[in-house]
């Protein structure tokens, strides 16, 4: 039995808009069917494909009634979801076969010195959609979100300080709307994560600073500021370089300009550049969650998982604040398998009684940040004169 045309199939899918990891998962699903059935999908006619697809007919009613699946491929987890995933992959391969033959290989080089050959990285099996859903179910049970009443208090406090803090930011050349949009839960307006080799080198003292303020911010940070609120809620004091054992803080929506994924993760107003407009997401408590450290930041590398968590955040804080600026909107779920209601979520956490101390702490921090920024600008102006 010859193997299926994996590479050509993946290329065919990506040319039609599929993401590379999804296309590879579809090919892996088809290969699983080939191995279990002992067949060659490339030899199948339309009628043969139709007969094979009948084995993968399985409804939610079948699942509720506890009926076994008809096909031979073992599935761990949800039988309906796993069967539907395999059936969708087989349909795509059928369409690929009907679309025509793959491109022929290029002719051999003319006689003479042999053309050098180079090795290729192996095509290791990527996560299938079923595997991705299993990963997401594990994460949902362990992800830690803050209670909505905590976020509401931060957003309300921003409204109280809004006019004065916006004036301070704008006076220093920092666009206030990048941090304090309507209903913003940004915890420390004007603070963003350093970005790029130069800013990292300056922040860590490996390179001398010219004294000028960072672009679009009053102060740079090394991932401490987003954790101050969490630390106050659980320890009653500012963050001191040690978080909950076995967990790491994860950001959901991108906040840095370089390589920002907002255009794919959200609906963005037509013709709008997001550069410099999302720095406030860095310290938003709606944009930070704690995840098990052993899972290697799946919210960074798995778009479907990231989208699931963003939709959960939107649902959790919908009546409390606006989790993103007004020119952005959260994607609707177009695949029922990824509906947030199909996952078991951990209960939100945090002690709201600790908020008074945190709000006093952040008010003093903001006052110090504004003063430091003013002194820096004054020093730079003196040098320029």
Rounded distance, CA 94 to CA 49, Å? 7
> Which single residue is written with the structure tokens 């940040």?
369
- Report CA torsion sign: 197, 203, 205, 209: positive
Per-residue DSSP letter, 251: E
Axis crossing angle, helix 355-384 with helix 225-235, rounded to the nearest 10: 150
Q: What are phi and psi of 144, to 5 degrees?
A: -115, 115
Q: What are the tens digits of pLDDT across the range 15-32?
A: 887 888 888 889 999 999
pTM listed for this prediction: 0.69
* pLDDT tens digits along 106-138: 455 555 666 666 777 777 777 777 888 999 999
pLDDT value at residue 124: 77
pLDDT of 170 above 70: yes
pLDDT in tens, 131-159: 889 999 999 999 999 999 999 999 999 99
Please, are residues 144 and 247 in contact by the beta-carbon 8 Å criterion?
yes
308-357 pLDDT per residue, tens: 999 999 999 999 999 999 999 999 998 889 999 999 999 999 999 999 99
**Separation CA 208–CA 269 (nearest Å):** 39
- Answer for the pair 317, 350: CB distance below 8 angstroms, yes or no: no
pLDDT at 3 over 80: no
> What pLDDT does 105 receive?
47
Is the CB of residue 97 less than 8 Å from the CB of residue 155?
A: no
3-state secondary structure 16-81: CCCCHHHHHHHHHHHHHHHHHHCCCHHHCCHHHHHHHHHCCCCCHHHHHCCCCCCCCCCCCCCHHH
């Amino acid at each position: 039995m010859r193997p299926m045309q994996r590479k050509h199939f993946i290329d065919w899918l990506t040319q039609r808009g599929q993401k590379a990891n999804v296309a590879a998962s579809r090919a892996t699903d088809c290969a699983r069917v080939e191995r279990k059935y002992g067949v060659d999908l490339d030899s199948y006619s339309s009628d043969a494909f139709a007969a094979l697809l009948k084995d993968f007919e399985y409804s939610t009613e079948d699942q509720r009634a506890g009926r076994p699946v008809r096909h031979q491929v073992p599935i761990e987890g949800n039988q309906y979801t796993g069967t539907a995933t395999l059936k969708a992959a087989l349909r795509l391969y059928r369409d690929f076969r009907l679309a025509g033959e793959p491109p022929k290989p290029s002719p051999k080089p003319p006689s003479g010195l042999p053309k050098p050959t180079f090795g290729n990285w192996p095509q290791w099996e990527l996560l299938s959609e079923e595997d991705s859903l299993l990963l997401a179910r594990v994460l949902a049970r362990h992800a830690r979100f803050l209670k909505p009443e905590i976020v509401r208090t931060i957003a309300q406090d921003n409204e109280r300080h809004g006019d004065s803090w916006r004036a301070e930011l704008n006076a220093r050349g920092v666009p206030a709307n990048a941090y304090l949009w309507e209903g913003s839960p940004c915890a420390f307006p004007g603070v963003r994560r350093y970005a790029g080799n130069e800013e990292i080198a300056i922040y860590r003292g490996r390179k001398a600073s010219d004294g000028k303020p960072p672009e679009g911010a009053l102060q740079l940070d090394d991932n401490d500021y987003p954790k101050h609120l969490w630390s106050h809620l659980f320890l009653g004091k500012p963050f001191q370089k040690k978080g909950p054992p076995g967990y790491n803080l994860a950001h959901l929506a991108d906040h840095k300009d370089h390589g920002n994924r907002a255009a794919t993760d959200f609906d963005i107003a037509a013709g709008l550049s997001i550069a410099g407009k999302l720095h406030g997401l860095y310290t938003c408590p709606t944009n930070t969650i704690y995840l098990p450290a052993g899972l290697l930041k799946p919210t960074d590398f798995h778009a479907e998982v990231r989208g699931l968590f963003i939709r959960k955040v939107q649902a959790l804080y919908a009546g409390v604040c606006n989790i993103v600026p007004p020119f952005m909107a959260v994607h609707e779920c177009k695949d029922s398998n990824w509906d947030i209601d199909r996952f078991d979520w951990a209960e939100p956490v945090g002690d709201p009684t600790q908020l008074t101390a945190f709000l006093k702490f952040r008010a003093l921090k903001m006052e110090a940040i504004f003063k430091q920024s003013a002194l820096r600008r004054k020093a730079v102006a003196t040098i320029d004169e």
